[in-house]
Amino acid sequence: QVQLVESGGGLVQAGGSLRLSCAASGSIFSINTMGWYRQAPEKQRELVATITSGSITSGSSSDYADSVKGRFTISRDNAKNTVYLQMSSLKPEDTAVYYCYARVLSTLMPGEYNYWGQGTQVTVSS
């Protein structure tokens, strides 16, 4: 089994900052891509940011939704199996439940699978 536990959500005023964390644990052999999605009320879940694992010869690469470019930064600590999302210049439209995911190669079965966190609420007041 693989578990993802998120933390760091909360209520913040527009223009403020929050940092989300997501730690993966369990029967993990390796983690490929990690990332964050969000879902606002009555809207579809949308991709926020992703980050690859990188390699010995090259660092990880990241990608962002256009709506958060320049304001959000994704990073990861491979030794801790943890992904972070630093959110700055927050806007009311960033209000949503944020879900982390990790594409994991488990020690229990072949193949990579996506695992999800339980979600953390981010509310930005105007």
- Helix/strand/coil for 92: helix
Find, among 96, 97, 99, 95, the residue nearest to 115 by Cα.
99
Q: CB pairs under 8 A, 24+ apart, for 59-67?
A: 67/93
Q: Do the Cβ atoms of 6 and 21 come closer than 8 Å? A: yes
Per-residue tokens: 53: 């694992």
pLDDT, tens digit only, all 126 positions of the chain: 899 999 999 999 999 999 999 999 999 999 999 999 999 999 999 999 999 987 666 778 899 999 999 999 999 999 999 999 999 999 999 999 999 999 999 888 888 999 999 999 999 999
- Kindly state the tokens that stand for 120: 């953390």
* 4: enclosing H helix or E strand: strand 2-7
Residue 91: which of 67, 64, 119 has the closest Cα? 67
